[in-house]
Amino acid sequence: DAGITQSPRHKVTETGTPVTLRCHQTENHRYMYWYRQDPGHGLRLIHYSYGVKDTDKGEVSDGYSVSRSKTEDFLLTLESATSSQTSVYFCAISEGSNYGYTFGSGTRLTVV
C-alpha cells in the first residue's frame, strides 16, 4: 500500500544471527504495529507503538525488540534468530484507535 514500506521483502538468515526488519511510513500516523503470520496461527501481534519512543508488547513478543526513534520508522529486531521465527512479518499503521489499519506488503523471513 502506498505510504507504508517494509524492507527487506525477503530474507534468509542463519540461526543465532541478529536481524532487523524495517517499517517506513510517509503518512505521519501515530500508531504502528508489527504482526507475524504463520500457517494455522493467523496474524499475531508482536509489538506496537503509539508514538516516538512509546512502545508496548503484544502477545508474542519474546525474542523480539522494537525501536521507534522517528515517527516514520518502526524497527523490529530479532536479537538472535531461531527457526521458530521463520514467518511472514507484517507492519501496520493507523491514525488512531478508531481508524482502520493499513498494512505493508510483508517481509518473508526464513531462519535456517
Residue numbers at the binding site for another protein (CB under 8 A): 1, 33, 35, 42-45, 48, 50, 56, 58-59, 88, 90, 92, 97-98, 100-106
| Least Å from the CB of residue 79 to another protein | 22
| Least Å from the CB of residue 83 to another protein | 20
| Least Å from the CB of residue 59 to another protein | 8
* CB closer to another protein out of 15 and 28: 28
* CB closer to another protein out of 85 and 87: 87
Round to whole Å and give the CA distance between 32 and 22: 12
* CB closer to another protein out of 16 and 51: 51
DSSP the chain: -TTEEEE-SEEEE-TT--EEEEEEESS--SEEEEEEEETTTEEEEEEEEEETTEEEE-TT-TTEEEEEEETTEEEEEESS--GGG-EEEEEEEESSTTS--EE---EEEEE-
| Least Å from the CB of residue 95 to another protein | 11
